[in-house]
Structure 1
């Protein structure tokens, strides 16, 4: 476009130069003393007028072209700049697509990490709770075994005559003061409780082999 404008300007300048040369030639002819007749004068005057008219038209055309060319160049420049801006904006938008995708991916990864940390915390709490429960059960079992061992040790250290002190009546669960004279195993607090419990106890009572199996003895030995 710039080259075309330069060529147009050169052509206009050449036309102006040609017109100026023609005008100068006409003026020379008009001022010559050799041309004295009316016909030559009229022709020369007409030629000068034509040349001046052509020169004026060329100058007007040049002025119009000079006025239009900057606006046209400015318009074309604005259009080119607009196209460049549009292309640049499109390129920037396209280049931002991977960044937006990476940003969304990072957000998803961050959210997944938070959920994973939450799950790990909940699993840790459940694990600690189970460990505490197992530790309590273990401590309770150890305590129970220890108490049983202590009771067994105490019972083994008591004299035979004092065993009844830790026994309860098989009928009323009160403190037993006597025991069955046949098996020597079932404690009672009185003969009343022994008679009342005999229906059940007679099936379990261990009799002495020297006694008759049909004999029923309701004897309670009082402890000394």
Structure 2
């Protein structure tokens, strides 16, 4: 997701350190202190404008959520949503999702969401895919035993690659949906911005959940 630089983004981020973390290394192992209650911790890597993570936090108050985004202007849009909703179980992080080991302790996270990640379709970019083995190693480190990865995408190539990569890594699949919006899961599904746009056009949405 590319968004033009927004001059108001940096001042907004700087004004709300209680809501958005810009130096997550300092919080490693202490994330629960950022929330009102100690609860299971779920993170979204690449939250975009924050529609999914804010709706999830509102729907599941018994879970603590962290939305991670690397682009400042995009993170600022998500921050606006979070400040409006005032959810005590939601925090945001401005950081590179590829450095999770630096931000979370071993077993600190219960679930990871990968929503509409860049498919990086060219073979020379395979190591950038968020389900490449080096990323899976990082997820395994920060997740609790039997911690869950949930992936949604409209890109069939990335979905098929992820199934193979995760299977080869030894993950166990809990559910696989080849057409999410026409499945038994549809009623409980929380959409992202991209997902809504793609599904409105009639594109299939793929989803899987798996654990180590």
Compare the two structures and name the one with the higher helix fraction.
1
Bigger radius of gyration, 1 or 2?
1
Q: TM-score, normalised by structure 2?
A: 0.20
Q: TM-score, normalised by structure 1?
A: 0.19
